Amino acid sequence: MARKKLFSTPEELFEGYFGDFSTKKGRKKGVVEARKVTLKGRMLKDGKISLYLYSCINGNVSRTSMGSFLNIETDPTIKAQNEETIRLARTKADLMNADAEREENGFRPIAKSKANLIEYTLKVADDALAKTNNKHGYYYNLQALARHLKTFRGDKIRLSDVDKDFILAFVAYLRNDASNINYLRAEDKEKWKDISLSGNSQHRLFANLHYVIKKAVKARILPRDPFLELDAEDKSKENTGTREYLTAEELKRLIKTPIKNDMIKRAFLFSCFCGLRWSDVSRLRWGDLKTDDVGFFADVTMVKTKKQVKAYISDIGGTWLPVRSGDKTDNDLVFKLPKNEHVNVVLKQWAKDAKIKKTVSFHVSRHTAATMLLNLDVPLEVVAKQLGHGKISTTQIYAKILGKTQKEAIDKQNKLFK
């Protein structure tokens, strides 16, 4: 990487950060911009550049010293200090300019004491809930983000505090210090799972923070998006192709292995063959199981997406449904299950007893259904329809394989377990 030029004279220093030193106007005050509030510099006798804010609002001109200076650059350390000083000064100028422009255009400036990042994040969460009436989308994700932000820096973070350095520090917190607080299932801190975040959880929180900041920029609360200053290597990455799933052989071992709770076994294996999530399997009612001229299926409105899905059930999948007794009505639950946390504890032990060296949770059943179908040459579009994916790109995480029709595909499972 080429070394950055050091500005070793007052003239070079001024021109390097403000430009247009060739004119008298430029030498004294720096370049004037068509803005309400502008960062400018004044050359001092000792060669330093004093930074100040020049504002012209409703005809009223003012100059406010920022109390910071740029120094002659005798080494790279001083240059780095100068670059950080000018960056922070420009950020402050941009925020003040944004407020002035908001006021001029009939918007109320956001008081800095009230422009709280966590409060704004929760407001965006509430707006998302009001728009979609779905807590399993942005609402819960942004609630979790607010919790992590509070753990990271407390509850008095201003939106204007979010700059490149803040974002990099937050990424480091997610990678090294953050724990899975399991917000959706436990308000009690003692029940939070003290485990580090997965790469995908880190990426989701990073992306959600960016979502909040873009909302603030669009609302003209912030002048620009600081995420645009990040280099590619600075960003939290999503781990694609890392979904845990079970192979057919591992499923056969599980089927042969005893388990403490037979209903958990049935629900998990049922999901392995049809791909429904825990939230849908645990709420499945007898009236949701139907038959049409194509075959047997579960007719459900998915809790997470609010999308109506017709998930066909193969013969082998249907064998794991419990026997319906005569007193069961269409409104009764198919599977009577304990809470998800307990179910996952039982599944983990069951997998261990079956000599499976994978971390098995209930959601692994959905991944298993997807990969099983794709390995059977089922087309991507059919798998997406079976799983209720809104985007093909979600299904592409598992694989890129072609196949046939949805009902023919689901019936292919029968051959594996004869």
pLDDT of 408: 60
pLDDT in tens, 280-331: 999 999 999 999 999 999 999 888 778 889 999 999 999 999 999 889 999 9
pLDDT of 113: 36
What is the rounded (10 degree) CA torsion for 84, 85, 87, 91?
A: 140
Q: Provide the residue type at 112 as one letter.
A: K
State the Cα–Cα distance between residues 214 and 236, nearest whole angstrom.
17
pLDDT in tens, 225-257: 999 998 888 888 766 555 678 989 999 999 999
State the Cα–Cα distance between residues 49 and 68, nearest whole angstrom.
9
Instruction: For tokens 């990099």, name the residue.
Output: 168
- Binned at pLDDT 50, 70 and 90, residue 136 comes out as low
Structure tokens at 413: 């499972």
Q: For the sheet with 308-312, list strands across it.
A: 289-291, 296-301, 308-312
pLDDT exceeds cutoff 60 at 182 = no
pLDDT exceeds cutoff 70 at 176 = yes
pLDDT of 109: 55
Which bin fits 20, alpha (ψ -120 to 50), beta or left (φ > 0)?
A: left
State the Cα–Cα distance between residues 349 and 344, nearest whole angstrom.
9
Compare 404 and 203 and report the one with higher pLDDT.
Answer: 203
Q: What is the mean pLDDT of residues 362-389?
A: 86
248-416, CATH topology level: hpI Integrase; Chain A (1.10.443)
pLDDT of 252: 95
- Residue 300's DSSP bridge partners are 309
State the Cα–Cα distance between residues 28 and 295, nearest whole angstrom.
82
pLDDT of 53: 85
pLDDT of 107: 60
Q: What is the mean pLDDT of residues 76-92?
A: 87
User: Cα-flanking dihedrals φ and ψ of residue 11, to 5°?
Assistant: -65, -45
pLDDT of 321: 96
* Gyration radius of the chain's alpha carbons: 29
CB count within 10 Å of CB 406 equals 22
pLDDT of 140: 85
pLDDT of 224: 85
pLDDT of 67: 80
pLDDT exceeds cutoff 50 at 30 = no
Mention the CATH class of domain 117-234. mainly alpha
* Cβ atoms of residues 269 and 351 within 8 Å: no
Q: What is the mean pLDDT of residues 168-188?
A: 71
Bridge pairing between strands 49-57 and 60-70: antiparallel
Residue 394 neighbours by CB under 8 Å, 6+ apart: 384
DSSP 8-state assignment for residue 158: B
* Distance set, CA 370 to CA 128, 279, 365, 396 (Å): 29, 17, 9, 10
Mean pLDDT of the chain: 82
Compare 196 and 41 and report the one with higher pLDDT.
Answer: 41
Domain ranges of the chain: 10-104, 117-234, 248-416
pTM of the full structure: 0.52
Compare 385 and 269 and report the one with higher pLDDT.
Answer: 269
Q: What is the mean pLDDT of residues 209-227?
A: 88
User: Cα-flanking dihedrals φ and ψ of residue 164, to 5°?
Assistant: -60, -45
Per-residue burial over 19-55, b = 16 or more CB atoms within 10 Å of its CB, e = otherwise: eebeeeebbebbeeeebbbbbbbbbeeeebbebbbbb
* Distance set, CA 302 to CA 117, 310, 317, 405 (Å): 32, 10, 19, 22
pLDDT of 95: 77
State the Cα–Cα distance between residues 346 and 369, nearest whole angstrom.
20
pLDDT exceeds cutoff 60 at 400 = no
Q: What is the mean pLDDT of residues 255-279?
A: 95
Per this entry, what is the length of the chain?
418
**Which of 103-117, 171-185, 299-313 is predicted with the least confidence, judged by mean pLDDT?**
103-117
Bridge pairing between strands 289-291 and 37-43: unpaired
Structure tokens at 147: 């919790």
State the Cα–Cα distance between residues 84 and 356, nearest whole angstrom.
52
Beta-carbon-side half-sphere exposure of residue 347 (alpha carbons within 13 Å): 26
Compare 71 and 1 and report the one with higher pLDDT.
Answer: 71
Q: What is the mean pLDDT of residues 371-389?
A: 84
pLDDT of 23: 43
